[in-house]
Structure 1
Amino acid sequence: MDELAEQLGVDPLELRIRNHTEIDQTSGRPWSDKHLLDCYRSAADRFGWADRPPGVRGLRRNHVQVGWGMATAMFPARRMAAGCQVSTGADGCVRFASATHEIGTGVRTVMTQLAADITGLPLSAVAFDSGDSSFPETPRSGASQTTATVGAAVAEAATQWRRRLTEVAGAAATAQSLTALSPEQRAALSFSVTTSPPIDEGVSIRSFGAHFCEVEVDEYLGRARVTRWTAAFACGPVLNPKLARSQLMGGITFGIGMALLEQLPEDRTSLRRGGEYYLPTHTDRPDLDIELIDKTVADIPGPTLRGIGEIGIAGAPAAIANAIHHATGRRLRNLPITVEDLMMPAGPRR
């Protein structure tokens, strides 16, 4: 896209806006919801994109070249079948459980929050257990599907639990009265459910986002450093903004590593891999300005709910490569971008 924009003499963001489409061109279906233009405009305004010099090598800070780049992010919404069991204890605690696993993204927190919201119970009266294969089956934690998939099962279990509570204890039942339930009533409030993803052939569901970044390129040392980052994402209803931003920060950091550091070379003769594998640290990235654009009415566990995990990665390396081109005039298409790619050719220094 940026190469086309350069050939046409059009700003890269403007080219994307002019070619924005309201349908999924691979299927011809309309988007279930799409706020990519909002992502573009909000992030570009916060970044200050309007002040970007149109030509390459137009920004310099001290002895290094400075460049601004942007890219689009898109990731499909995935959801699979999942199960959840719920049990009501004599101590008044309602425990939900699924055989998913916590990989550090806050699954237990979000599922507890979701169950509490739907049952009407305080967080202190709800728990979510995971990481045990004896619990109802769920798919692997990957492909940005856990929140939508397991969340649907938890939501269904919580909805049924609330209805059953009314049936066995009356509409006035509260969390405080759960300890007074008989063993038979608690048994009626202990069960399992399984949910399957809804099929809607009429729409296409995706998450969208926009990255804007600034890099500094020291051509004497062959070093690129990301100095500023602004991004906006439209990922449907956001259940926990703090956890969502943390995942997006991790994804962008992943993208910085993909663009500038991460490489596992392979010897073509022996087919053995060797060398060192570098990962970005806190010093390799700037503070990240991230906005969540949530303009979708929450429909839990409906089809508007989707994952966030990978979309922070999508487009991030491209934004860096575009910024490096703006800084140096070098169009680099292979990752990672190395010292050799950035080093000024031998000769008199300018």
Structure 2
Amino acid sequence: MQIQPKESAVPSLSLHPPVPAFSPPGAKSLTSSIRNLPVSLFASVMGISGLALAWRLAHSSLGAPALIGEAIGAFAVGVFLLVSLAYLWKLAQHPEAVRAEFQHPVAGNFFGTIAISLLLLSAVVGPYRPAVAQALWTVGVLATFALCYVVISRLLKGQVDGSHAVPAWIIPCVATLDIPVTGGQMPMAWVAEVNLLAGAVGVVLALVLFTMIVSRLVHRDPLAPGMAPSLMILVAPFAVGFLAYSNIAGGVDRFAALLFYFALFMFAVVAPKVFRPSVPFSAGWWAVSFPMAALANAALKYAEFRDSAPLWVLAIVLLVGLSLALAVLAVRTVLIVLNGKLLT
């Protein structure tokens, strides 16, 4: 009888928080409105961009058709523009809703998906528009550090409810790890030091927050079913950490291999908890996309380094699984857009 009150409180911390969390008193929770557009939808850009970069790696290492990766990259740019315009409309029409979302103990962390999207898109457009890529990366770096500073400052104020320690906390810190992942090809003289700074911040904070989140998952009530997809975020610090570290170190070594294998282990642990028929679909499902994309990219890079047949098979399986998962997410997202459920 003690569990029920806690369970009923958890949904307010979901990836797609209910309307009352961002609506003035008296608002109708079932009314379709742009004010209900979740910032977590930017996670779709992260996943699609990561898929595009994975297919580029598959082209260079496995001879996959180049058109696949480039077409997916163009789609990622289009999705980013569409979601950005929609969210700017929300900001213009309902600034108080955006403010409330930013201050929410869970949803506020998903503003990191905007910064990560900019970083990943810089890598997507880099071969075509180097100047645009440099501008996107620079803005993404500034936004990432600013958000990470704000989030950590909030936590250090104290009196934070332990039940709020959910996987979404990791997002702003993983964003800093994406700086060296995407900054390796940037020509600016100051990039190397920024990559080192970002790697230092991301590695330490990711480990600290990972420990706090696992402690919450072990000692408190399970996450509500609607938050189950966010468990996949626990894979990200290690998969992205592998990519970031190998770029900073200039290659894959034994420590990078340890990061990759732990990411693979975490994926095996959380995947059965995420991919269940009982988990309802919402925009929050896009939380699975980028961690899976990071793992697929890491697997392709590690397989290329080891040149081992089993590792190549693993990398291909992860790439195909990622492609299918994102295709399903895209179709189901279009369906909830068309039936109006996305904005309710």
Give the TM-score band, short-chain normalised: under 0.3
> TM-score w.r.t. structure 2 length?
0.19
Task: Tell which has more relative contact order, 1 or 2 (C-alpha 8 A, sep 6+).
Answer: 1
The TM-score normalised by the length of structure 1 is: 0.19
